[in-house]
Amino acid sequence: MKNTELNLSVGSTMHVDLETDGNHESYPVTLIGYLDGKSLLVTMPQHDGSPLQLDDGSGFIVRYTSGDSNYAFESTVIQTSLKPYPHLHLKYPEGVQGVMLRSGIRVPLENLAIMLMMTDGEKKISVAMTDISLSGARLVAPSHIGMVGDEFAIEMPTSPEVCAQGVVLPCVIRYIREEKSATSRSKRIIHHGVEFRELEKQAHRFVERFIKDQVSQQRGSD
């Protein structure tokens, strides 16, 4: 379900930018649904596991990523509700405020081998990552690793000098595409486009540094 003008996708993560006590804070919320021209329905922003106290009429900036672009618009709270779970009705925007920006360079990779940690916490799958950007990546495998909307985590290869505990990137599958293998007509390759979700600061910095390193290496080999 998408709005072609705003590129809204139900189930995607948005970020609500609030000013609290003079400090700028960004809180992730999930888009539950919307009605064109009326309102957006999102989960309640939370701080330390507790819903934020927002008054009707409160204004803020809403940001989100769709595809390879970042979007932002101004909105206000129409109504708050705690039943059947905490959620907000937000004013439907007239359109995207400002200019849509590319979320980052999509850098091709030479079939980087990575591990996926599935939601059961036990199963791990080895796949190839063929490109990456700040918003997501493309994973290639000989079979389906899941369905659109499935969530899992990418375990990125790293070193003790970079991060002793390793880097984990939570993500969700946004598209799946099949094609024939270049080496065998009987085999197929499955491409999975994934979106990173709610990355911690350390993980986000790792992705930024990883992309910069890859770009530098590729330019050096030209």
- Write the pLDDT tens digit of every residue in 145-166: 888 888 888 888 765 444 445 6
Q: What is the structure's pLDDT at 98?
A: 40
CATH fold of 107-221 reads Thrombin, subunit H (2.40.10)
Q: How far is CA 11 from CA 32, 36, 64, 164, in A?
A: 6, 16, 12, 33
80 vs 215 pLDDT, higher one: 80
Instruction: Decide yes or no: CATH 2.30.110.10 for domain 2-102.
Output: yes
Residue with tokens 């990575």: 114
Q: Tell me if 6 sits within 8 A of 70, measured CB to CB.
A: no
Entry field: residues in the chain: 222
Tokens of 37: 């021209």
* Confidence class for position 101, pLDDT limits 50, 70, 90: very low
Cα gap 54→193, rounded to integer Å = 35
User: What's the mean pLDDT when you consider all of the chain?
Assistant: 78
Cα gap 109→103, rounded to integer Å = 18
CATH 2.40.10.220 domain span(s) along the chain: 107-221
Q: What is the mean pLDDT of residues 32-50?
A: 89
Nearest to 73 by CA among 31, 43, 115: 31
116 vs 54 pLDDT, higher one: 54
- Does the reported pTM lie above 0.75? no
- Dump strand ranges (E) for the chain: 2-3, 8-9, 13-20, 23-35, 39-43, 46-47, 50-51, 59-66, 69-81, 87-91, 101-102, 107-117, 124-132, 136-141, 151-156, 167-180, 188-196
Q: What is the structure's pLDDT at 68?
A: 53
Q: What is the structure's pLDDT at 42?
A: 94
Cα gap 15→19, rounded to integer Å = 13
Of all residues in the chain, the percent with pLDDT exceeding 90 is: 10
Residue 78: burial class (beta carbons within 10 Å; 0-12, 13-18, 19+): middle
CATH 2.30.110.10 domain span(s) along the chain: 2-102
Cα gap 61→73, rounded to integer Å = 6
In DSSP terms, 169 is beta-bridged to: 154
Q: pLDDT for 55-88, tens place per residue?
A: 888 888 888 877 556 677 888 999 998 888 889 9
Q: What is the structure's pLDDT at 69?
A: 61
